[in-house]
A and B are shown apart, each in its own frame.
Chain A
Amino acid sequence: MVKIPTVTSWQDLPVGCVVPGGTMIINKTGAWKVFRPVVDHKKCTLCMLCWIYCPDSSVVLAEGKIEFDYDHCKGCGICANECPAKAIRMELEV
């Protein structure tokens, strides 16, 4: 899992401000979104354009279906805008 140094005083600060890489994954940037993408699996042709165009790696291919990681998706709407099959629409996050 993600190892993040716990720090309580100057003594346990990692020298030179060196930390494990890629730990921002724990950031739930999903809270930023006002709209969320929703996919219509019947229309989706699995062309994966939404996947390659997502700035936040929040399109997930699971068991042959496109899903979204709503914990991280910021709701930018690029996937909906780019989907050739118009299979993704943006809904107001309640």
Chain B
Amino acid sequence: METEKLTFTGNESAALGAKLARVEVVATYPITPQSTIVENLSRFIANGELKAEIINAESEHAAISICIGASLSGARTFTATASQGLVLMHEMLHWAAGARTPIVMAVTNRALCVPWSLHADFQDAISQRDTGWIQFYCENNQEVLDTIIQAYKISEDKRVLLPSMVSLEGFILTHTVERVDVPKQKDVDEFLPPYKNEFFYIDPENPLAENVVVLPDWYMEYRYQQEVAMQNAKEVIDKVSKEYFDKIGRNWGGLIEAYMMEDAEVAVVTMGTIAGTARVAVREMRKKSGKKVGLIKVRCFRPFPVEEFKKFSSLKALAVIDRSYSFGCGGPLCTEVKSAFYNTEEKPLILGVVAGLGGRDVNVGDIINVLEKTIEVSKTGKVERETIWLNLKGEQLR
């Protein structure tokens, strides 16, 4: 009897999530570090474990377009890409959201050119934040698997009908092996019913046309309808998280997860694998020096958890760590956290930190330094520098 495999890479976890979600059409284009996701899916199909069609498209731009065509035609679709591939898709990301096609895409986050880099960086996914896609950022491979399954239930919910991006950092998750519990197909089938496209269908007796030209009289209303769907996603994400816990036994905490925040005065806010490292730093600081520090992990960047953040307005100071950067402005996560508190009476001082670009390692010690700096800010009440470039070689000028 073969021993049952217990550990998987992030890419295998993504492929397992897609398989368990019984995806029907997969269209992708190879790019490091994503390629093994599709290799795994191809094997599942070849071994009869998954009844689906895989299309090896001629480009990422084509891959996402194939998914849109397939999703409109009633098939549950999956794709995966990263870095240059994701930004090549940009035209069609807006398209997929506007067409309300509930496609789920794994994004194995990787830095953008120039310079050339194969390593982890959120610039690819973060730079797509205005395309209308729901965006999840995962901390570990288990969350990747679970979130892909949940993403289908969220995206296909009638009140939402928006595509979802599930981000897992290149190499740090995609090629990292760790324990992953693989739910049973039966349980996932009960959790996630088959996809049925109700608004567009191919019926010669009742021919429908999708995406006709809209003039200034109705375009804005269409955009508002789409925003309402994105806002609905907040409740649906929480509901689906609870349902997943009831059925499969794990809850990654809807839009955000507060760790040791009950009595925290100072906290670090971040996404992805850095949140895992920050968890350890918080625990160690509390144990070693009893400092009231905590972690706010942002799991869902779109829709942005504004209301959740407002609950923390009584905190003294926050450090927001971005693994991406908006030139001439600051870390995108930091900018959004700041704006969440803008109109609250009380609000924490907020320190921006840019770290881990291009795969640079971020360890527990780094987080502890950031937290110490944040505690100092909470005491002095002054933020000398809006954004710190962590471990920058050479002096940071402004």
Contact = CB atoms under 8 A, between A and B. Distances in A.
Interface string A12-41: 011111111110000000000000000000
B199 A16 contact: yes
Interface residues of A, number: 14
A17 B207 contact: no
A17 B210 contact: yes
Contacts, number: 51
B101 to A, nearest CB: 8
A13 B225 contact: yes
A20 B228 CA distance: 24
A22 B212 CA distance: 12
B215 interface: no
A27 to B, nearest CB: 13
Contacts of B98: 16-17
A20 B203 CA distance: 11
A30 B100 CA distance: 37
B206 A18 contact: no
Contacts of B224: 10
A19 B222 contact: no
Contacts of B218: 7, 13
Interface centre among A10, A17, A19, A20 (most CB of B within 10 A): A17
Query: What is the interface residue range for chain B against chain A?
Result: 20 to 34
Contact of B206 (A10, A15, A20): A20
Nearest to A16: B100
A9 B207 contact: no
B209 interface: yes
B200 interface: yes
A15 B228 CA distance: 12
B161 A18 contact: no
Given A7-B218, A13-B218, A18 B199 contact: yes
B200 A19 contact: no
A18 B209 contact: yes
Contacts of A20: 206-209
Interface in B196-242: 199-200, 206-212, 214, 218, 221-222, 224-225, 228
Contacts of A7: 218
B99 interface: yes
A4 to B, nearest CB: 12
Contacts of B99: 16-17
Contact of B209 (A11, A13, A21): A21
B222 A10 contact: yes
A16 B211 contact: yes
A18 B222 contact: no
Contacts of B228: 10
Interface string A29-57: 00000000000000000000000000000
B225 A18 contact: no
A19 B225 contact: no
Contacts of A14: 199
A13 B312 CA distance: 38
Contacts of B214: 17
Nearest to A23: B209
Given A10-B224, A17-B222, 15 more contacts: A10-B221, A10-B228, A13-B222, A15-B161, A16-B72, A16-B101, A16-B161, A16-B210, A17-B98, A17-B210, A17-B211, A17-B214, A18-B200, A19-B212, A22-B207
The 10 closest A-B pairs by CB, nearest first: A21-B207, A10-B221, A15-B199, A16-B100, A18-B200, A10-B225, A21-B209, A18-B210, A10-B224, A17-B211
Interface of A: 7, 9-11, 13-22
15 contacts: A7-B218, A9-B221, A10-B225, A15-B225, A16-B98, A16-B199, A16-B200, A16-B211, A17-B98, A17-B214, A17-B222, A18-B199, A19-B212, A20-B208, A20-B209
